A and B are shown apart, each in its own frame.
Chain A
Amino acid sequence: MLAVLVRQVFVRALIAIPMIFALSVVVFVVLRMLPADPLAMMLPPTATPTEVESLRAALGLDRSLPVQYGIWLSHALHGDLGRSITSGETVTHLIATTLPATVELSVVALAFSLVISIPGGLLLYALNKRRGELLADSFVVLLISVPSFLWGIFLMLVLGVMWPILPFSDRFGADIAPPKTTGFALIDFLLRGDFQAWGNAFSHLMLPALALALGFAPLIIRVLRASLLEAAGEQYAMVARLRGQSDARIVLRHMFKNAVLPTLTLIGVQFGFLFGGTLLIEMIFSFPGLGNLMVQAVRNHDLPLIQGIALVFCVIILVINTCVDCLYAVVNPRLRDA
């Protein structure tokens, strides 16, 4: 089993690495199409043409595109993604301080969406060919039609403004010292033993995570229902029924295990979308994560920062997909010998 896992990781990494290179080329080329001159933002309006040229040369912007890419790549491989044009901080530092917030948000959102979608999928399956089905099915279509960012605005409006129950901006209260040990608020505050701060951070996570989960859950519900329906037609389900087992037992003990496989694949593929979705949700909820940083960078045309964040987003999604593929091999016994 371990050998399978190792081989899976190895094979996936072989595919993923050239992909990251290709992606970085795409990002680099697209951003060089930018009509605005990045130098214009870094120099005072009084700068002389010689000053402009010397800065251009210092930044390597006077060379050809492939050479520029080569310079950027060799720095990136050494962990140096350059400095932000607007704030002057290193891109790696900016990313390192915001990434934990985003990871935390998306993991909590994933947990929420599982809590919603597993009972939801089972319920929808139970309603198959019953009277409530059209209603339930239409409801799921309605849920699918509402993108996460509208959920965010809706939740903020209802639970933040109309009935101010939950906080809807920032990561935790202003009086709480930021997490330093791991960067993850939920872990650090526990380590610190500060349960009040933990509750505060969690309540700040509730709305954005719920918004992401509500956008994600209907997709899982649909796949789970479809794979349960498929499993119901399999022989083992019929045999179990012939043995006189109860419907609930057949579904939960036998069919669910098989139906989870396609669902897991979907979660893997779509987790990337969920992670990308944090971008807007963070902006709406002023949540200080990677997405918010990206939106600010985009608004300021901060090229090094945009490049760095885009690369980190892609790497994370490839890592997630690789993990899911490996997990899939572990969970599905049929793939182990393949």
Chain B
Amino acid sequence: MSTLAIQASGRWRQTARALLHSPKAMAGGAIVLALVLVAIFAPWIAPNDPLSQDLLSPLLPPAWMADGMAQYPLGTDSLGRCILSRLIFGSRVALWVGLCSAVGTMLLGCALALLASYFGGKVDRAIGYLVDLWMSFPPVVLSLILMVGLGPGVGNVILSVIVVDWTRFCRVVRAEALVIRRRDYVIAARLMGFSHLRIMLREMLPGLVPLIITLFSLEMGVAIVVEAILSFVGLSVPANTVAWGVMIADARGVMQENIWNLIPPVLGIVVTVLGFNLLSDGVRQALDPRADSSRV
């Protein structure tokens, strides 16, 4: 093992230790892990079929209330569907959209950021202009327009998040990559005649990994909110798919009669986004040696 490799593995061990000592990263990680497990094992955890309607018992309050039924722990909606089961199955759409959109924005944003920072000059200016142009669109308006154009569907939601949100990755990663571009080892690699692609991927990219992980986690939260917004407006998922935004839209209609329909999906979104934000914050502070002195 070369000295460089030893240093690198030492760095990773140090990072792992920093992560284990960061209450934020641990709390965020625990929330995210729990969510992933719930989403994967949804059919086994959920007490009822999220789509089956029990029209004889609509709008039940949770089981611990006087009128509640033990069969429906969090009550039922206006069509007598089990709120808890819908909440559990809703996590699948949320996490799937979050994961795919974050991967997509990461790939697109990082690729453009690397090109812009590595080649500089005209390439950089063109990409910079594109980012500016994109960012002068309010994101909600742009994704609404895209969804009108593309039509509803989970795949289209993912596509529209990627098209709207790649700019954040591109802008932030570009700024950091510009710094790395001027490091000695990158210049050395260029002098050794490595190909452009190799320098970008093997020399520059590893230095950007901490930043990318932070942004990735943040983006998952953002994408989940966007999906909730779009399904709230009724533009996201087909009618027989369970999503938290759809639950909120349904519950808003019967808010005066039953507030218990509204609380679970709202909390579901808040806890999920909180988990990803905490994880992102914790990772940033643990991986960044220059992180501000507040050790939280």
Q: Which residues of A contact B (CB under 8 A)?
A: 19, 22-23, 26-27, 30-35, 128-129, 133-134, 137-138, 141-142, 144-147, 149-150, 153-154, 156-157, 161-162, 226, 229, 269, 272-273, 275-277, 279-280, 283-284, 294-295, 298-299, 301, 306, 309-310, 313-314, 317-318, 321
Pairwise interchain contact B234-A299, C-beta atoms closer than 8 A: yes
State whether the Cβ of B60 lies closer than 8 Å to any Cβ in chain A.
Answer: no
The residue in A19, A26, A145, A226 that gathers the most chain B C-beta atoms within 10 A of its C-beta is A145
Do A31 and B149 touch (CB < 8 A)? yes
Given A134-B23, A153-B266, A306-B145, A272 and B256 contact (CB-CB distance below 8 Å)? no
How long is the Cα–Cα vector from A311 to B18 in the complex, in angstroms?
48
Contacts of B281 in A (CB 8 A): 141
How far is A239 from B248 in the complex, measured between Cα atoms in Å?
55
Distance A150 CA – B229 CA, assembled complex (angstroms): 9
Q: Residues of A contacting B263 with CB < 8 Å?
A: 157
Enumerate chain B residues within 8 angstroms of A294, measured Cβ to Cβ.
Answer: 141, 144
- Tell me whether B16 is interfacial, beta carbon within 8 Å: no
Asked if A133 and B296 make an inter-chain contact with CB atoms under 8 angstroms apart, the answer reads yes
Q: At the interface, yes or no: B277 with Cβ under 8 Å from chain A?
A: yes
Q: Is the CB of B294 within 8 A of A31?
A: no
Is the Cβ of A295 less than 8 Å from the Cβ of B294?
no
Number of A-B contacts (CB under 8 A): 127
B136 contacts A317, C-beta separation under 8 Å: yes
Residues of B within 8 Å of A275, CB to CB, are 138
| Interchain nearest-CB distance for B11 vs A (Å) | 26
- Stretch touching chain A among B70-78, B190-198, B268-276: B268-276
The reply to whether the CB of B33 lies closer than 8 angstroms to some CB of chain A is no
- CA distance in complex: A144, B252 (Å): 23
- Asked if B233 lies at the interface with its beta carbon under 8 angstroms from chain A, I say yes
A276–B266 touching, CB < 8 Å? no
Q: With an 8 A cutoff between CB atoms, is B150 at the interface?
A: yes
- By Cβ-Cβ distance, the 4 closest A-B pairs, closest first, are A276-B138, A145-B274, A33-B149, A145-B273
The answer to whether A30 and B292 touch (CB under 8 A), given A150-B266, A276-B141, is: no
Per-position contact with A for B260-286: 1 when CB-CB < 8 Å, else 0?
Answer: 001100100110011001100100000
B58 on the A face (CB < 8 A): no
Q: How far is the CB of A231 from chain B (nearest CB, A)?
A: 13
A226 / chain B contacts, CB cutoff of 8 Å: 292
Cα A310 to Cα B266 with chains together (Å) = 29
For residue B140, which residues in chain A have a CB less than 8 angstroms away from its CB? Answer: 276-277, 279-280
B255 at the interface (CB under 8 A from A): yes
Q: How far is the CA of A147 from the CA of B227 in the complex (A)?
A: 12
Residue of A nearest to B139 (CB): A276
A149 touches B138 (CB 8 A): no
* Chain B residues with CB below 8 A from A145, complex form: 221, 270, 273-274, 277
Give chain A residues whose Cβ lies under 8 Å from the Cβ of B292: 226, 229
Q: Is the CB of B139 within 8 A of A31?
A: no
Interface assignment of B119: CB less than 8 Å from any CB of chain A: no
The answer to whether B144 touches A279 (Cβ under 8 A) is yes
Q: Is the CB of B24 within 8 A of A138?
A: yes
Q: In the complex, A284 Cα to B252 Cα: how many Å?
A: 9
Residues of B within 8 Å of A314, CB to CB, are: 136-138, 141
Q: Please measure, in the bound complex, the distance between the C-alpha atom of A310 and the C-alpha atom of B143, giving whole angstroms.
A: 11
Which residue on chain A has the smallest CB distance to residue B281? A141
Q: Is B82 an interface residue (CB 8 A)?
A: no
Contacting pair A317 B294 (CB below 8 A) = no
Q: Are A150 and B270 in contact (CB under 8 A)?
A: yes
Residues of A close to B273: CB separation below 8 A: 145-147
Q: Find chain B residues with CB under 8 A from A19 CB.
A: 132-133, 136
Residues in B neighbouring A298, C-beta threshold 8 A: 144-145, 147-148, 233, 235
B293 within 8 Å of A (CB atoms): yes
Ordered by A's residue number, 15 sampled pairs between the chains whose C-beta atoms are within 8 Å are A23-B133, A30-B149, A35-B151, A133-B294, A145-B270, A150-B266, A150-B269, A269-B135, A276-B141, A298-B144, A298-B148, A301-B148, A313-B137, A314-B137, A317-B138
Closest B residue by C-beta to A134 = B296
- What CA separation (Å) do A145 and B28 show in the bound complex? 12
Instruction: Name the one of A30, A138, A141, A273 contacting B139, with C-beta atoms under 8 angstroms.
Output: A273
Asked if A141 contacts B259 (CB within 8 A), the reply is no
A133 to B234 alpha-carbon distance, docked (Å): 41
Kindly state whether residue B225 has any CB partner on chain A within 8 Å: yes
* Complex Cα gap A48–B221 (Å): 50
Contacts of A318 in B (CB 8 A): 136
Is B216 on the interface with A (CB-CB < 8 A)? no
- A22, A153, A269, A275 — most chain B CB neighbours (10 Å): A153
Kindly state whether residue B146 has any CB partner on chain A within 8 Å.
yes
Q: Which of A137, A146, A149, A310 has the most CB of B within 10 A?
A: A149
